[in-house]
Each structure stands twice: as C-alpha cells, then as structure tokens.
Copies of this chain bind each other. A is one copy, B any other.
C-alpha cells in the first residue's frame, strides 16, 4: 500500500486544445466566427490557456487555416495565455510574428510514428527545435517554446516505445533550448502505472520546466491517467471540450480527455481550476450544435453535476 501522506496539487490548469488537436482530427471545418465564439466562451468560463491552432500549410490542414487570425483575437482577451502548435521553423516564424505566448513543437518518440507523421526522425525534430530557439532569440521574441514528446507510451505503428528513449528525447529538447517540455499519450496506450512511472522520472529531470500531461481517452483510462500524474505533482493537462479528436492512426478511437469531465474531476477533488463547469457545459452544448454529425465524448454533460458538488470545497475553504 502507498503511504497515506500525500500532497496533490492545490490547483491545476486545464489547457484547452480542442481548437487544435480536436478540430484537426475531424472532418467538419469550423468557421472562424464559431472558433472565436468558442475561445471567448472558454475564456468566460474561466479557462486561461488555450491552444488556438497550428501553423501548418493550409493545404495539409484546412481546418486550421485561420490560426494567425485566432491568435490575434485570443490576445485581445486579458490574461489569456495563447498557444499554437508549430511543426517546424517555418511554423515557428509565423508563431513569433503572431506573438503567440507559447509554441508547441511536437516530437514523436516512436521513430516509426515520427517518420510516418512528420517525415523526420525524433532527433531531426530536436535539431529543428534548436533552430527555432535560435530564431526566437534572434527576433527578441517572448514566445515560449514547449517541446512535446508524443507516442510516449507506445504507438500503433511501431508498438513499444522505451521509457529511456522518451526521457533521452525530453532531455535533448531541453538541451536544444526548449523552455518547457510535456509528454503525450498520443494513441491512448498509457495506464496509470505507466504514467506514474514515467512522469515521476520526467519531473525529476525537468523540474518546473515539466509543463503538461496530454492524455487521450481512447481506451477509457484518460482520467485515471490524469489522476496518476497529479500524484507525482503534475498540475497542467491538455483537454478537448466534448472529447473531440483522436488520431488518424487509431481508427474509431475517442479523442483527448474531455475538458468538462476533467474540470469536474479536479473540482470534485478540491483542486482549483478557475473553471465554471456550468458555463463550460453550456459552451459544450453550443459546440455540439456546430459539430452536428461528429462523434462527441464525455459523461458529465449527460449526468450533470452531483447534488453535492461544491459542498466539500465550501467546507474546506
């Protein structure tokens, strides 16, 4: 049995990635007007970190072609920390020009997945992050760089991914100039034991520069994995409203953990997120209308908040 002495984080950040990881994985192209309404709605519900898009060529991901415009809009909301994904130096130059607060450089720890998705080896990506860092510094830009290590628990192409390789690549990203690193279970292979094991070592290596856990709910373990990460002190998680998204290499799979279920779990546990869940559920209903025909996920929207929700927190306060 584990010792009963435990200190879970007192607060945690839910980074909304539905506008990027979610929308890039579904067929519907959401009009910019609706994306702005989504960003504003998430902001009004209390979310303060949003990944608004990805600087990739529009021919590859027409769903995200309006990313520069969305960064500009998001930056008008006071206190909102605006992230974008950038696959390469070209994307990073766009992110720097747009004055995004943070750019995420994705690396796939699975060599096979990396070649299939990015046409680069993981170490090529490390080198590219070094060039991005140089460009950022040369521009005098304040845009932070996050190196995201994906397929960290295995992948659908290669299968097994060694923990030592994940940690080696994470260290390499830091050495190449990443301000932050994060770990993603891109295809939903992680279980709570694996998460605890890997994240404990990752936090030891990266300290405060370990930024975020990114879990997919492909096999129903998304929130159990979040809980395991909380136990080793990780306090920032990616999530998609309505659990949209998935992975092109994992057909039929559900997407990221759903923002609303995650907000509920954290809130129920007395971990402050600043998120108003009722407002979030109202936003989910609007987004669900826009995405009619797409498969959505999550449980809370159907069951509603427990009658007791907020009581424990009120007593504790």
Contacts and interface: CB of A to CB of B under 8 A. Distances in A.
Contacts of A194: 268-269
A220 B261 contact: yes
Contact of A303 (B155, B188, B268): B188
A58 to B, nearest CB: 30
Contact of A154 (B159, B160, B258, B307): B307
B306 A189 contact: yes
B1 A221 contact: no
Contacts of A192: 224, 227, 265, 269
Interface in A292-317: 298-300, 302-303, 306-308, 311
A228 B225 CA distance: 11
Interface residues of A, number: 54
Nearest to A203: B1
Interface in A126-168: 154-156, 159-160
Nearest to A7: B1
Nearest to A304: B252
A218 interface: yes
